[in-house]
Structure formats: C-alpha cells, structure tokens
Chain A
Amino acid sequence: DAGVIQSPRHEVTEMGQEVTLRCKPISGHNSLFWYRQTMMRGLELLIYFNNNVPIDDSGMPEDRFSAKMPNASFSTLKIQPSEPRDSAVYFCASRGDRAGYTFGSGTRLTVV
C-alpha cells in the first residue's frame, strides 16, 4: 500500500487566490481527517469524515475553508480566498476501525 497520498507537497500562492489540497486515503480506511500544523498552535483538527460523511467540522477556522469527500478514495480541502495567516502544513490522515492514524506527508502552504 502506498499510504496516504497528498498533493501538492508544496504550494505557494498569493493572498486572495483559491487553494485546493488533495488527499487519497488508504484503501479500506473508513475515516479521514484534515489537520493543520503550525509552530504556534501545533496539530489542529479541522474536519473529519466517516464513511465519506462529514461528522465534525467545528475545527474549520471560517467560511473560507471547505472540505469534500465525494468518494472513499478522494478528499479535498479548499481555501478561498487564501490569506497569509493560512500558511501552515496541512495533513490528511486516514484510519480504519480500532487503528491509529496513518498520516500523509503533508502539504506545506505559503500564502504571500
């Protein structure tokens, strides 16, 4: 298994632009999580899906952030419009029943 695959690995964009981050979870894992990591705030849970359904999006910072999971093998996190304070490493993780998370390698987002 290739693990959790995220793309792109790095993204540099200008303030105001739309950013889309992508994630392919491990086949058979029924839960998917989006986290954001910064030095100041550590790992913050943004949203998680169970069986493709959003269960808890209370961590999504504001309406500029949205996430979708159209099928079991794909999820996106979109920021529109992006702001410099959104700069962080965004991780996707998937989890099967009674298992720990498997994280992707992350997307390092820089908004200038």
Chain B
Amino acid sequence: TQLLEQSPQFLSIQEGENLTVYCNSSSVFSSLQWYRQEPGEGPVLLVTVVTGGEVKKLKRLTFQFGDARKDSSLHITAAQPGDTGLYLCAGGGTYKYIFGTGTRLKVLA
C-alpha cells in the first residue's frame, strides 16, 4: 500500500515568517502534486512536478520533487493570512493519485 506522510501535521505561524512542509513516502511516484484546501471547499491544484530534482516556483511558494521521486517539499516565503488552509500532497501514476495526510497551516496576522 502506498502511503504519503506529511509533516508537520499542524503549523501555526505569524505573518511574514517562512515555513516548509514535507511529504514523504517509501514508494516512487511518476508525478507529485500539491493542493490547497480551504474550509467548505474541495482541494485546488497548486502544482505538478514530474522530474526527480525538479523545482517549481509559484510566487512565494517553492515546490521541490526529491531526486528519487519519493518525497517532496513545499516552502512558503513571507507567509500571509491568505495562505491559511490544508495543504495536501498527492502521488500519482497513470490513472489515480494517492493523497497525503495533510498539513493544516494557520497564518496569524
């Protein structure tokens, strides 16, 4: 069974701070995605990474796929209250993705 463990599970920080969220597995994935979910809504896709070692930037968010394609990280620079939400990684193959356990982030103004 493929499992994706995310850490930390919960994170509460002040506006302006930096943070990193981790997504780890013992399985190799052909691609990995990150989603953000706000209360009462479904997850929204942020990025897809497909190549080992790949780094993608989306404004203040930096995503990295591990060289062995088993792990990934999400780094947020100068967090803002609008970044608050549940961050989910998802490892995938041809048809389906398995979602991680999630990191619940709260950014305080």
Contact = CB atoms under 8 A, between A and B. Distances in A.
A93 B45 CA distance: 11
Contact of B98 (A45, A50, A104): A45
A31 B90 CA distance: 17
Contacts of A35: 99
B42 A106 contact: yes
A62 B42 CA distance: 24
A104 B42 contact: yes
Given A43-B88, A103-B42, A106-B42, A55 B101 contact: no
Contact of B40 (A48, A56, A105): A105
Nearest to A59: B96
Interface string A96-107: 000011111110
A61 interface: no
B101 A101 contact: no
Contacts of A93: 42
B42 A56 contact: no
Interface in A16-60: 31, 33, 35, 42-43, 45, 48, 50, 55-56
